Structure 1
Amino acid sequence: MNQAITGIMTNAGKAYITTATLQNKGLEVTELVFANIPGLNEQETRNPSEKMPGGAQIVYRRNIDTSGYVDANTVAWAVVLEQDIGDFDYNWIGLVTRNGTLLAVDYLPLQRKRQGVNNVHNRSFVLKFAAAAALARITIPAQSWMFDYSPQIDALTLLATSNATAQINNMRRTVRNYFLNKNFSNFSKELS
């Protein structure tokens, strides 16, 4: 499962970026925080005054695995939740800096991360703001690691559907030809 998260910047995140810019420091984004907040509606407007959830609601923290720019004003940070990570549910994701500032947040429909073979979640948090790539000091294009598998999945689905349809049609022809070429009464005798 690969999903780009496009949340909002918090007020604290905006202040952090302003300070980092004035001090000529890059953005030190270090982790994604996953939380399960009961009653959270992913359709709600994101709250720019959002604070970090309480410790009991935080279900997992993950250091950023990679980052990249989409364009001069859009950057992405990504993590991979491997198959040995879990079990937990989450509906809130926060992007956090080295000094603990909650830079950005997003709400999701409840996601289930279970430990097990082939249960891997790829999460990218994308933010858009003026001169994002330069301010974050990100020089690697996100396209180098953000890969859209949709065309391959669509092609495999089409291939599987075509093969299944061909097999069903072949079975129909085989059964129809069998009954056309044989007397049904002989077929009944063969079964007994």
Structure 2
Amino acid sequence: MSSVITLEFEHYKAQEAATGKPIILDEFVFALVPNLDPKKPIERTEQLPDAKHIVHRQAINKAGLVSENAVAYSVTLGTEIGDFEFNWIGLLNKASNSVAMITHAPTQKKLRTQGGQQGNVLTRSFLLEFDGAAKDTAINTTAETWQIDFTARLTGIDEVQRLINTDSYGEAAFFGSAFDVTRDGEQFTVNSGLAYVGGLRGELAKSQVFNKLRDTYIYADFSYQGNLLSQWQTVVKLTTGNQLKHYVDSSGYAHFVFAIAAIDKTGAITDLRPQGAKWEQSIAQIKQQYALKSEMKSWRYVAKGNETTLTPNEVFHHCLLFINGLEQYANYSFAVENNTIYLAEPLLKDDHIEVVINVPVISQRALHTGSDTDVLRNEVEALRTTVHNLKGKDFISADSRNLVAIGTDENIFISENELQKIASIDVEVKTNQ
């Protein structure tokens, strides 16, 4: 293996010195040159190989000071890079395409991780020596060692964080108008904003426009990209198609896709974005599932810490209470009295509270024992202890079918037989005389 400082570099160095500019060497080039003999001396007039022989270009990862007259440049090819072979390495100034140093080496393989096969990590360095090298290149940090491969462990940490996010936000979560699709004529605009897709947190920096869409879906495509020594970040893009699935691209990056909108044959838009975290989505599903005869009101609060009472500005007798998305049990974790919720344990700072008020014991759909009545658990438990004490307008016979009004919400009804079935209590029906 042989190396050389080129005559082209000496010309570039003199040119920069004349204008008082520092020498900048910022790119490595890898090539596979046919019939290259690494044992033979390298001509100092040698240039870049033909483009067809260049297999990879990459910005330097580190530059370090060895002495006043020597500086080192290093690049690390992580496990996400490959597959290719190379026998020629060059260090150059990218802007001018000036080659400073060249190395001829035996043919080597660079493999990326794919299909369950662990790729390799290669670090290549050039040591550039000439009088005043440190001063002329403006490099003043000490050279370091970059050969340790942490990619497997770091990738594992990233995957754990992605799965944690999935536990909290589900397959996808959107906030406010982020990724909302609107139409103006034949232009379909996807709004900018923040979202989670596949556990990756990403932001669409600016709105994006599609034209003349029909019978298709618009997908958000999130992938986590970077290299071994760079800052990794979520890359967000939008695409259209039908039945798109998660995939791995040619560079080995995993992409997670989610349909944000459906466009039918007339151009009408159906919004497919789940709003908020999983616990917020659960509340939304409950509201959507039950076509209520009275409005279901929601009150939210972020705890300051140590609160033992909650006071929504509403009149209510019963409620559903969620803390950080977990349902709390009435008469165990909390109790309601005089429009105030009394908690069994103090709240922690930044606990997210959701109080659903006026949850009725009947909906426009038929009630059945089992999962359909799970959402009514708090009301049923309250009825077990209070129904026999209700009098007058609080508990009246509503019509000839013997429907019972519960509490002061006289428009919320449930049949006596159904109430007995789901609550396992005897109902004493009182009438106004």
3-state SS of paired residue (1:80)? strand
Q: Which residue of 1 aligns with 2:45?
A: 49
- Aligned with 1:15 (options 11, 18, 25): 11
Read off the aligned partner of 1:36 and give its amino acid letter: L
Matched with 2:97 is 100
Bigger CA radius of gyration = 2
Distance change (3 Å), C-alpha of 1:110 and 1:8: same
1:87 aligns with 2:83: yes
Question: What TM-score, normalized to structure 1?
Answer: 0.70
- In the TM superposition, what is the alpha-carbon distance from 1:67 to its structure 2 partner? 0.2
Q: Distance in 2 between matches of 1:95 and 1:147?
A: 17
Are 1:128 and 2:124 counterparts? no
1:7–1:126 Cα contact (<8 Å) kept: no
Residue aligned with 1:134, SS: helix
1:101 and 1:138 map into 2 onto residues whose CA distance is 19
Partner residue in 2 for 1:115:
112
**CA shift at 1:148, angstroms?**
7.7
Higher RCO (Cα < 8 Å, 6 or more apart): 1
CA shift at 1:109, angstroms?
0.9
- Asked whether the equivalents of residues 6 and 127 of structure 1 are also in contact (C-alpha less than 8 Å), the reply is no
Shift of 1:86: 0.5
Q: Distance in 1 between matches of 2:147 and 2:35?
A: 32
Pairwise CA distance, 1:127: 1.1
Which residue matches 1:166? none
Distance in 2, matches of 1:68 and 1:30, equals: 12
Which whole-Å deviations, capped at 9, do the CAs of 1:41-64 have from their partners, x for residues lacking one? 111101100011001100000011
Deviation track 1:132-165 (CA, whole Å, cap 9, x = no partner) reads 11111100111xx22688xxxxxxxxxxxxxxxx
Q: Which amino acid aligns with 1:124?
A: S
Letter in 2 for 1:120: V
Q: RMSD of aligned C-alpha atoms?
A: 1.7
* Cα deviation code 1:106-131 (max 9, x no counterpart): 10111111112251001111111111
Q: Given the superposition, is the C-alpha separation of residues 73 and 29 from structure 1 closer, same or farther in structure 2, using an over 3 Å criterion?
A: same
Q: Which amino acid in the other structure matches residue 4 of structure 2?
A: I
How far did residue 21 of structure 1 move? Answer: 1.5
Query: Which amino acid in structure 2 is aligned with residue 88 of structure 1?
Result: F
Tell me if the contact between 1:6 and 1:126 (Cα under 8 Å) persists in the aligned partners.
no
Determine the structure 1 residue equivalent to 2:58. Answer: 62
State the distance in 1 between where 2:61 and 2:146 align: 15
The CA distance in 1 between the partners of 2:120 and 2:103, in whole Å, is: 22
Identity of aligned residues (%): 31
Structure 2: unaligned runs, 5 residues or longer: 149-433
Residues 1:101 and 1:131: Cα distance change in structure 2 (over 3 Å)? same
User: 1:83 is aligned with what amino acid?
Assistant: T
- Cα 1:6–1:27, aligned 2, differ >3 Å: closer, same or farther? farther
AA aligned to 1:70 is: V
Q: Provide closer, same or farther for how the CA distance between residues 148 and 82 of structure 1 changes in structure 2, counting only shifts above 3 A.
A: closer
Aligned-residue offset at 1:85 = 0.4
Work out the CA distance in 1 between the residues paired with 2:75 and 2:2. 14
For residues 17-42 of structure 1, what are the alpha-carbon distances to aligned partners after superposition, in whole Å with 9 as ceiling and x for unaligned? 11111211111111000000011011
Which letter does structure 2 place at the counterpart of 1:106? T
User: Where in structure 1 are there 5+ consecutive unaligned residues?
Assistant: 150-192
Deviations 1:63-102 (A, max 9, x none): 1111011111111111110101001111101111032111
- 3-state SS in 2 of match to 1:19: helix
Are the equivalent residues in 1 in contact too, given 2:2–2:42 (CA < 8 A)?
no
2:82 pairs with 1:75: no
Aligned to 1:37: 33
Between Structure 1 and Structure 2, which shows a larger proportion of strand residues? 2
Equivalents in 2 of 1:26, 1:6: separation in Å?
Answer: 27
Contact preservation (8 Å) 2:123, 2:146: no
Aligned residue-pair number? 143
SS of equivalent to 1:103: strand
Structure ranking higher in helix proportion: 1
**Residue number in structure 1 paired with 2:24:** 28
Q: Match of 1:146?
A: 145
* One-letter identity of the residue aligned with 2:109: R
The residue type equivalent to 1:100 in the other structure is: N
Q: From the superposition, tell whether residues 146 and 23 of structure 1 become closer, same or farther in structure 2 (CA, over 3 Å).
A: same
| Secondary structure in structure 1 of the residue aligned to 2:108 | strand
